[in-house]
Structure 1
Amino acid sequence: MQNGTSFFSQIPPVTKNLIIINLIVWLAMFILPGRLGVGLENYGGLHYFHAADFNPAQLITYMFMHSTQSFAHIFFNMFSLWMFGMTLERTLGSARFLFYYISCGVGAALVQEFIWMLTWEDTFVRLLSTNFHLDFPEAKEYLQQMTASAEGKEWLARNMNIFITIGASGAVYGVLLAFGMLFPNAPLYLFFIPVPIKAKWMVIGMGAIELLIGLSESAGKADGVAHFAHLGGMIFGFLIILYWKKKGTFHGIY
């Protein structure tokens, strides 16, 4: 409490409302599946664009949904949004911050779609190889034969619904990137590390880690996390901030 105002009232409006919306949707994901008979992520989660259940609105809706299997998913995303989003919103202004946040989330989704486009065939071939005890070339030929017909293409579109991503991480990684670019020398403390790390080094380190894990994931060691989507949020954030810097948007604050 300070001067009679609450802690919550000190959070800028866009950051505050993004956190509220994410929490409401997360609670709805617990309640509504029992009434609908299916999880909300089947409607609002990001699907591959060739999947039967894909629709363009998912490029936005997915970033407001989080796993109900682990509180850590929404907690760390919202904690990071609160921690860095407040400063960023006050720096950019609410309207520009909202544009930036949504743009990074959509950018992350587009990168994830591109990665799925490159990897879906190998994923299906590996599944067929495992389920039907085929070697890789045989499984690939079997998939090509199966999808040569209209019925096979329908089967493929239905089964492509296995590709689904939810979470605000792509947008949040964009927020972290912007903080690192605008306040590169700001000292940050990480868990279990007693010395401060400059924001620019933390952002570079996080990007490198996501790239390395993402490449490992592409090699067949998937951990269920959309690492390239995180990178996508950072890439789109970098381009937007770079453009705004060249336009003189920030008036030398960085």
Structure 2
Amino acid sequence: MGRITDAVKHLIIINVLFFVATQVYGDQMYQWFSLWFPKNENFAIWQVVSHMFMHGGFMHILFNMYALWAFGSPLERMWGRNKFFFFYFSAGLGAALIHTGVNYYYFNQGLDALVNTGIPKEQIMEIITSGKYSPNWYNIAPKDTIDSFLSAINTPAVGASGAIYGVLVAFGMSYPNSELFLMFIPVPVKAKYFIPVLIGLDLFSGVTGYSIFGNGIAHFAHVGGALFGFLMMWYWKKNQFNSNRWDR
């Protein structure tokens, strides 16, 4: 681990400032800077970046910032500041893309289910864009479909986790035999085993809806950040894309 590096330090400072502001301004911060579904009236284009600095609570930001320091600092020392920044934000944007894409799937699935019952699409959109829904929808369409439909459009995403999952993948590919000491496992686990299992659990939870980590987690954002992290690492290794090509 060692000392904290410059890019990691600045990212942590910005995250903490956003967290403090959220404690002061509350819901207004979530409305402006969380990542909302594009069809939600709260959506703004800057949210694809700003949501990476928003967190839902103290433990959320604590674990994310610890992981950023523990796994990001070795990568920044190896790559340099600019390459690390590029990787971090690319993984975060990838997480936002996958998360939003999955929400589009759930949104369209629910919309189609309601339209197929004879409700005009315009009427459905008018109701949900006003922040409401019809209880009768649960009587005419599957409950899980309606739950996912409403969650997709009304639940914003916050957190640096997507970007950090990309960092985890990069760390595991760069230091596969590093032994990680985890609070809930009494023996050290090598990164090349732990990180794929962690991502697999997120994928399982996203597909099945059953989460061992609790509710309210954007599992597909985690998977998206990990996927984009893997693709960047694969490309860089294949093309010998090293830190000498970057202004440190």
What TM-score do you get using the length of structure 1 for normalisation? 0.79
Change (3 A) 1:83 1:227: same
Q: Deviation of residue 246 (structure 1)?
A: 1.0
Structure 2: gaps spanning 5 or more residues: 132-149, 244-248
Corresponding residue of 1:62: 51
CA pair 26-216 structure 1, distance change in 2 beyond 3 A: same
Q: 1:158 to 1:112 in 2, by over 3 A?
A: farther
Match of 1:98 in 2: 85
The answer as to 2:36 corresponding to 1:47 is: yes
2:161 and 2:35 map into 1 onto residues whose CA distance is 13
2:119 to 142, 145, 170: 145
**C-alpha distance in structure 2 between counterparts of 1:233 and 1:199, whole Å:** 17
CA distance in 2, matches of 1:87, 1:158: 47
Deviation for aligned residue 1:154 = 3.8
**From 68, 90, 101, the counterpart of 1:81:** 68
Letter in 1 for 2:22: M
Match of 2:196 among 186, 204, 216: 204
The count of aligned residue pairs is: 220
- State the superposition RMSD in angstroms: 2.5
Correspondences of 1:175-186 after superposition (within 5 Å): 175-186=167-178
Amino acid in the other structure paired with 1:241: M
Residue 31 of structure 1, CA deviation = 0.6
Structure 1 233/158 Cα, relative in aligned 2: closer, same or farther at 3 Å?
Answer: farther
Task: State the 1:71 CA deviation.
Answer: 1.4
**In the TM superposition, what is the alpha-carbon distance from 1:146 to its structure 2 partner?**
4.6
**Cα distance change of structure 1 residues 192 and 85 upon mapping to structure 2, 3 Å threshold:** same
**SS of 2:28 mapped into structure 1:** coil
TM-score (norm 2): 0.81
Q: What is the rounded CA distance, in whole Å, between the counterparts of 1:123 and 1:21 in structure 2?
A: 37
**What amino acid is aligned across from residue 72 of structure 2 in structure 1?**
G
Decide whether the 8 Å contact of 1:108 with 1:170 is kept in 2: yes
Question: What residue identity is the alignment partner of 2:103?
Answer: W
What is the Cα deviation at residue 145 of structure 1? 2.0
Q: Which residue of 1 aligns with 2:186?
A: 194
Cα distance in 2 for residues equivalent to 1:166 and 1:186? 29
Runs of 4 or more off by more than 6 Å in structure 1? none
- The answer to whether the 8 Å contact 1:51/1:158 transfers is no
CA distance in 2, matches of 1:54, 1:144: 29
Please tell me the residue identity of whatever aligns with 1:23.
V
Higher gyration radius (CA)? 1
Aligned counterpart for 2:98 among listed residues 108, 111, 117: 111
Contact 1:185 1:200 in 2 (8 A): yes
> Does the Cα contact within 8 Å between 2:48 and 2:96 map onto a contact in 1?
yes
Determine the C-alpha separation between the residues in 2 that align with 1:144 and 1:116: 23
CA contact (8 A) 1:88 1:97 kept: yes
1:227 is matched with 219
Kindly provide the CA deviation profile for residues 78-102 of structure 1, in whole angstroms up to 9, marking residues without a partner as x: 0000111110111111000000000
Partners in 1 of 2:106 and 2:78 — Cα distance? 39
Partners of 2:96 and 2:179 lie apart in 1 by: 30
Cα distance between partner residues in 2 of 1:58 and 1:144: 35
**1:122 Cα deviation from its structure 2 partner:** 5.3
Name the amino acid aligned to 1:156: I
